[in-house]
């Protein structure tokens, strides 16, 4: 009996309403049935992305239909673009994603489904990129050649010829980090080696055996040039080639010497020169016909020639793995 009374009441309501009023009631009931919920969006990206780069996708749920997205506001204006259907957020103006200009960008985004809508916050954090420095800039900033090499061993060849510790890098010991630089320029365009007519040698007198002579300044290997140079000047005080090196001062650096033949060839290999040849500090003693020393050439040949010949001179010096470098 109660059921019949409720039905008749509902019929009376319908009969008593106009068509427009009925439509509003239905729409209101339908609208109250749709729900929508969006999720706040945040991300961090490196500065300087390309225009069109995807930042992410806004997400949300709706109980009915699809969500339509739109940007209500953004700061700075024009930085972001939003696909209204997919919710994909992209870079609209890459110039605004510069860490030095904007460390973060924000927006208010709305999503609608029918009459239902929701609004969320978007936050884009921009991270600073360390500017990519050249090898020379890194050296100038205070990194050592060994630190640069150990950070990326593919940079080894790029180190050669770079300015460091008063000269141009041509050798780096990959175990110790020590190395050698050649002076920026030749210090003599044409000079003799010195003491041209005789061998530099020491007399060795040992009781009970005949006196003999030991040829000096004969070291050929890497690291021999410094001791060769000292021996040359102890026995041939006015050697033009050796003096051209030891008298050199570049900035605060005054410890230059005449390279051994191996050091000279390493220099010519890593920093090629167009020359008629350079003197090394490596002497070759001869029994007759004058004394000789080794010279190296731009085609990477080496030969012992009479010290009376005229050749170029290029000084070198050593640097330690952790040596402080003068700014001069």
Query: How far out from the chain centre does Cα 226 lie?
Result: 33
Report residue 292's pLDDT band, with 50, 70 and 90 as the boundaries.
confident
Report residue 211's pLDDT band, with 50, 70 and 90 as the boundaries.
low
pLDDT for res 197 = 81
Average pLDDT of the residues in 218-243: 95
For the cut 90, the answer to whether the pLDDT of residue 325 exceeds it is: no
Spatial separation of the C-alpha atoms in residues 259 and 294, rounded to whole Å: 11
For the cut 80, the answer to whether the pLDDT of residue 281 exceeds it is: yes
Measure the CA dihedral 177/182/184/186, to 10°.
Answer: 180
> Structural domain boundaries of the chain?
2-26, 36-127, 163-319
pLDDT tens-digit series, residues 42-52: 999 999 999 99
pLDDT tens-digit series, residues 129-138: 766 789 999 9
Q: Over pLDDT 70: what percentage of the chain?
A: 83
Name which of 92, 88, 93, 98 is nearest 41 in CA terms.
88
- Are the C-beta atoms of 78 and 97 separated by less than 8 Å? no
pLDDT tens-digit series, residues 71-95: 999 999 999 999 999 999 999 999 9
Output phi, psi for 110, to 5 deg: -115, 150
Least confident of 37-46, 149-158, 197-206: 197-206
Average pLDDT of the residues in 56-62: 93
Report residue 152's pLDDT band, with 50, 70 and 90 as the boundaries.
very high
pLDDT for res 326 = 53
pLDDT for res 14 = 38
Q: Going by C-beta distance under 8 Å and a sequence separation of 6 or more, which residues neighbour residue 229?
A: 217, 242, 245, 246, 257, 258, 281
Report residue 5's pLDDT band, with 50, 70 and 90 as the boundaries.
very low
Spatial separation of the C-alpha atoms in residues 299 and 269, rounded to whole Å: 9
Where does residue 247 fall: left (phi above 0), alpha (psi -120 to 50 degrees), or beta otherwise? Answer: alpha
pLDDT for res 7 = 37
Handedness of CA 4, 8, 9, 14 (dihedral sign): positive
| Fold held by 36-127 | Immunoglobulin-like (2.60.40)
pLDDT for res 250 = 96
Least confident of 44-48, 106-110, 269-273, 278-282: 44-48
Name which of 180, 307, 163, 309 is nearest 235 in CA terms.
307
Long-range CB contacts for residues 170-173, cutoff 8 Å, separation at least 24: 170/266, 170/267, 170/269, 170/270, 170/271, 170/316, 171/222, 171/263, 171/266, 171/267, 171/270, 172/145, 172/146
- Are the C-beta atoms of 209 and 197 separated by less than 8 Å? no
Report residue 285's pLDDT band, with 50, 70 and 90 as the boundaries.
confident
Average pLDDT of the residues in 198-213: 64
């Amino acid at each position: 009996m109660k059921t019949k009374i409720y039905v008749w009441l509902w019929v009376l309501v319908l009969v008593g309403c106009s068509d427009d009023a009925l439509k509003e009631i239905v729409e209101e009931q339908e609208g109250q049935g749709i729900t929508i919920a969006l999720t706040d969006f945040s991300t961090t990206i490196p500065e300087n992305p390309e225009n069109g780069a995807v930042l992410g996708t806004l997400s949300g749920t709706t109980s009915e239909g699809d969500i339509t997205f739109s940007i209500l506001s953004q700061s700075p204006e024009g930085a972001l673009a939003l696909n209204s259907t997919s919710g994909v957020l992209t870079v609209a103006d890459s110039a605004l994603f510069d860490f030095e200009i904007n460390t973060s960008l924000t927006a208010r985004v709305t999503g609608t489904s029918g009459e239902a809508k929701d609004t969320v916050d978007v936050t884009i954090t921009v991270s600073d990129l360390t500017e990519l420095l050249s090898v020379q800039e890194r050296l100038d900033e205070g990194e050592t050649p060994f630190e640069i090499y150990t950070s990326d061993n593919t940079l080894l060849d790029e180190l050669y010829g770079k300015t460091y510790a008063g000269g141009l890098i041509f050798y780096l010991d990959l175990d110790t980090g020590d190395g050698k630089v050649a002076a920026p320029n030749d210090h003599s365009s044409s000079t003799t080696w010195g003491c041209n007519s005789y061998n530099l040698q020491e007399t060795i007198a040992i009781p009970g055996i005949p006196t003999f002579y030991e040829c000096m300044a004969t070291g050929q290997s890497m690291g021999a040039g410094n001791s060769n140079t000292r021996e040359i000047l102890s026995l041939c005080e006015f050697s033009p080639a050796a003096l051209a090196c030891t008298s050199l001062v570049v900035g605060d650096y005054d410890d230059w010497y005449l390279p051994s033949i191996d050091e000279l060839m390493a220099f010519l290999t890593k920093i090629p020169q167009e020359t008629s040849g350079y003197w090394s500090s490596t002497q070759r003693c001869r029994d007759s016909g004058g004394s000789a020393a080794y010279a190296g050439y731009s085609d990477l040949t080496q030969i012992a020639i009479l010290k009376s010949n005229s050749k170029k001179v290029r000084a070198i010096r050593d640097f330690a793995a952790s040596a402080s470098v003068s700014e001069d």
